[in-house]
Every structure is written in structure tokens, then in C-alpha cells.
Amino acid sequence: MTAATLDATVIQSPLKRALRRLARRRGALVGLAIVLVFVVLAIGADVFSPYDPTATDWMAVRKGPSAAHWFGTDEIGRDVLSRVIHGARASLMAGLISVCLALGLGIPIGMIAGYAGGFVDGLLMRLTDAMLACPFLILAIALAAFLGPSLANAMIAIGLSATPIFIRLTRAQVQAVKVEDFVEAARAVGNPPWRIALRHILPNIVPALMVQGTLTIAAAIIAEASLSFLGLGQQPPAPSWGSMLNTAKNFLTQAPWMAVWPGISIFLVVLSFNLVGDGLRDALDPRHRG
């Protein structure tokens, strides 16, 4: 057996254990199932939706649910069901990709700041503070001006504006953990800083990040709605749940079904991500004895 495969088994086994633990959490499984359903819907949107989500029907504008249109039709006669299914694509992407971007930037910067301390910490935190202090909209509009409005640029804007939260959170957690006895012990036996950071600190800060991450997915899905509102998100006629909700608010009393379905979808996805987040938190927590 080579060293490489040996390493692989060592790394794999805690993951397997975690997955096994995850499988015991009923809530997490339900959440995972719902997320998967939406992911499948998003990927196979063209197969599942009964109509073209952009096809308009002048004869059926803002009509309630019927046999032909299960979820009713929208303000220019498009099938709401088809738009909800296609909207899953934009909304899930807006949620997941922007949060991945924020995590990818936030965790390393936060860890460096928290672990290194001193001048490096000071500089990074000034940057973070300055970024946090600039309102989201200004950042988003400036970005859109540079790159042109699109869903991708909206995700970049959302991701960047969520990054400082992860930096601050990671740093705070690292500062709290690095004075714990087990980190001191690891340092005492001569572990290099990167190894301490990855093996001892990271696992301990994952729970808080996981929770914030799943929450931020929800916030990101809703932030995409605000950006669509400014013309910086998903470009019409392609749907996203956020932009559907935004339009629907003008027809609340006349066509409530336009709001109900994207609303329920957002709620379900947000709830599911949080259930999964909880499950992961418990499963990954090395000190968890449950």
C-alpha cells in the first residue's frame, strides 16, 4: 500500500463516519431530499415544465390555477408552474454560487487574520471593514456597470458583499479557538501553523460557518430578487423566484397565485438548506457525542 492510498483512507474514514451520522438525522434527510428534488427540477427544467417558461398567451393573462395551468398564469400570460421550475435554476445558482464565492474568499482571509494577528490582521480587517461599510447597492451597481448586467454578475456582487461576514466570523472563531488547550497542545508538539489551522482550528469553526452559510444562501436568493428589481439580476424574460415575487407584489389582491408558488419554493429551499446545515453541523462536529 502506497502512502497516497494510506492518506486517502485516513481522510476518508471521518467523512464516512460523518455521513453515517448525517443519515441518522431525520430532519437533515428530509431537507436533503427537498434540496435534491429542486436540484433535479432545476437541471431537468426543460423536461419537467409543461410549457415554455417564456411563451406568452394573450388570452390567458393573470388567470387562476386551472387544468391547463396548474399554478395559474402570470401578468403576461405565461405558465407559472413552468416559470417556478425554470426559476429554480437561477435561484439555486444565485444562492449556492454566491455563497461558495463568499466562503472561498472569507474563510482563508479570516483564518489568516485570526491566526496571524498583528499587522496582517490589522490590514485585512481594515479592508474588510471598509468593504462592509460600503452599501451593497453601490457595489452591485458599480460591478454591473463594469461587467454588464447578468445573473452571473449579480452572483459576484452578492458573493462579494457576503464575504466580509465570513471573514469576521472566521476570525472571531479562530481567535476564540486558538487559545483553547488543544490548539496550544498541538502547537507545543511542533505542528506547523498551516497544519494547526487545517486540522485543529478549521473543524472547530465549521459549525458556525455552516450555519451562516445556509442562512446566507437564503439571503442570497432574496438578494437576487432585489437586484432583479434594479435590472441587475436575472434578465427577462428568463425567470427567477425573486423576480417573480417582485412582479407578483403588484398583483397581490388580483392574482395571489403569482406570489404563492415562488414564495413557497423559496421557503422550502431555505428551510431545507437549514435542516441540512444543522445535520452537517452535528455530523462534522468532532466533539459531538450524540
Instruction: Give the nearest distance from C-beta 247 to another protein in angstroms.
Output: 6
Backbone angles phi, psi at 73, to 5 degrees: -125, 165
Instruction: Give the nearest distance from C-beta 97 to another protein in angstroms.
Output: 19
Instruction: Give the nearest distance from C-beta 192 to another protein in angstroms.
Output: 23
Instruction: Give the nearest distance from C-beta 4 to another protein in angstroms.
Output: 34
Task: Using the minimum distance from each CB to another protein, give the nearer residue, 133 or 189.
Answer: 133
Task: Using the minimum distance from each CB to another protein, give the nearer residue, 1 or 138.
Answer: 138
Q: Which has the closest alpha carbon to 206: 155, 281, 259?
A: 281
Please provide the DSSP assignment of 135-173 as one string. Answer: -HHHHHHHHHHHH-S-HHHHHHHHHHHHHHHHHHHHHHH
Task: Using the minimum distance from each CB to another protein, give the nearer residue, 105 or 271.
Answer: 271
Task: Using the minimum distance from each CB to another protein, give the nearer residue, 41 or 218.
Answer: 218
- CB within 8 A of 120, min separation 6: which ones? 112, 113
Find residue 79's DSSP bridge partners: 73
Instruction: Give the nearest distance from C-beta 209 to another protein in angstroms.
Output: 10
SS3 assignment, position 52: coil
Instruction: Determine contact, residues 275/30, Cβ cutoff 8 Å.
Output: yes
Backbone angles phi, psi at 148, to 5 degrees: 85, 140
Task: Using the minimum distance from each CB to another protein, give the nearer residue, 100 or 215.
Answer: 215
DSSP for residue 235: P
Nine-digit cell string for 217: 444562501
Task: Using the minimum distance from each CB to another protein, give the nearer residue, 6 or 33.
Answer: 33
Instruction: Give the nearest distance from C-beta 69 to another protein in angstroms.
Output: 16
